[in-house]
Structure 1
């Protein structure tokens, strides 16, 4: 099974720029690259921060860009997003208990898409209602493999400023995953960095956004935005493993001899 992850679009009003870049043009280039190279993907998952401002006009711009996308897609929310404005445009998005979250059952297992948005705050939240929903979805999956998607990483990445913007209830999340016992990977966004590793034995990955990135800076009180290349992830899942490729979709340096 091949799926794609795209994250941190940070769309602004069309025609405006963010960090000296045009987020909508970057998204359109991403969509064109997916259509050209991965139109056979079973699903594209956008893991939040769809908008920079949360304004309705940014979600309308997103809807316009996604009309060109060939594969099926699912949208998740991040800390910059606004649920009400998002749902005014994407009124058919799956919601449960007022949160934009859901599942996709595939031949390789269950994909669980979490809503970690805490309005007005950069941190993520998994309150009792969301943890209870997750517990039920894990119980339904029984002994099937589970793949978790979250805007905020529930694990430390050892960049102090970004770690302070993680999921507040990360310690409450892990026992649910351990009890299920077959969570094979956690995919996250938010950090604007290419990161891979494991958290308490569970493989994890994070990737760059489609607009600006975060500098690799381990100081405790600062982080800079950079113009490192935007990327999306090409993910292959089967019974034997999970392989994640990070694709710099604006790279035009390939040469063949």
Structure 2
């Protein structure tokens, strides 16, 4: 099974930039790269911050772009989004209790898309209603389960970023812990950094995003840090027993060099490229 994760696309008014980069052009480039190189993917999941300011025009342009994609695309919302405006353009994404949550059947198990949006807040939210819904899905779905969400559920130890992580992280951890054996992986975004770790033994990961990149300044106390790193998305390969996640730095414009054959007989100090 192959899945694609794109995150933090931050679409905005055409002509505007974020961090000196054009988020609309960068998303278009990411989408084209992903579809060109991975047309066999079962699904593409975009894990939030679809719009930079939660504006209807951004969602309309996104809807137009996705209409031309030949693989199923599923959407989460993030703190830069506006839930009701998102529903106005993508009404099919309104799930139980008015949240942007749903279950996607896959060839290996199921994906669960969570809504961690909250009003007037950059931090993530996971209320009792959302916890009850997730518990019911985890109880009844045949595994493995793959969870997709926007906010990071574990601190990354960068103080300004951890102020806006999933505030209800303890509730989320308590919800998933009894089903750790069924949950294969958690995929999130939000931090604009390439991250990986685990929660109750459940692996999680995040790619950098398709526009501006974060930087782990562990001494920071107030401001988030950014860096001119290459834009990226994730390609996920899975079997019944394995999961592999690649971060694809599609914005890289340098050379790709051949360094030689993996065949041990061809390893030669005089001829190997180094």
State the TM-score bracket (shorter-chain normalisation). Answer: over 0.9
Give, in whole Å, the separation in 2 of the partners of 1:140 and 1:242. Answer: 22
Corresponding residue for residue 229 of structure 1: 230
**Number of the residue aligned with 2:247:** 246
Could you tell me which runs of 5 or more consecutive residues in structure 2 were left unpaired when the two chains were aligned.
259-274
Q: Which residue of 1 aligns with 2:4?
A: 4
* 1:92 aligned residue: 92
* Aligned-partner Cα distance in 2 for 1:175–1:120: 26
TM-score (ref. length: structure 1) = 0.95
Q: Which aligned runs of 4 or more in structure 1 are off by greater than 4 angstroms? A: none
TM superposition shift of 1:70: 2.5
Structure 1 distance, partners of 2:144, 2:92, is 27
Residue 132, structure 1, aligned to residue 127, structure 2:
no
Q: What is the total number of aligned residue pairs between the two structures?
A: 256
Q: CA deviation at 1:94?
A: 4.2
User: Contact 1:234 / 1:244 at 8 angstroms: preserved in 2?
Assistant: yes
Q: Is the 8 A contact 1:27 1:65 kept in 2?
A: no
Which deviates further from its counterpart, 220-229 or 76-85?
220-229
Unmatched 5+ stretches in structure 1: none
Cα deviation code 1:214-249 (max 9, x no counterpart):
122112322222221110000011112110000011
Partner of 1:92, secondary structure, is: helix
Match of 2:214 in 1: 214
Listed one character per residue, the Cα deviations across residues 16-44 of structure 1 (whole Å, up to 9, x for unaligned) are: 22221111100110111012101110000
Per-residue deviation, 1:256: 5.2
1:35/1:69 contact within 8 Å kept: yes
Q: Work out whether 1:61 is the aligned partner of 2:44.
A: no
1:31–1:68 CA contact under 8 A, matched in 2: no
Tell me which residue corresponds to 2:51.
Answer: 51
Q: Distance in 2 between matches of 1:124 and 1:57?
A: 24
Aligned equivalent of 1:73: 73
- Comparing 132-141 with 197-206, greater Cα deviation is found at 197-206
Q: Which residue pairs with 2:153 in the alignment?
A: 154
Are 1:107 and 2:107 an aligned pair?
yes
Question: How does the TM-score come out when normalised to structure 2?
Answer: 0.89
Alignment RMSD = 1.4
The CA distance in 2 between the partners of 1:246 and 1:196, in whole Å, is 11
Deviates more, 1:192-201 or 1:242-251: 192-201
Provide the secondary structure at the position in 1 that maps to 2:91: coil
Would you say the 8 A contact 2:7–2:48 is kept in 1? yes
- Cα distance, 1:254 vs structure 2: 3.6
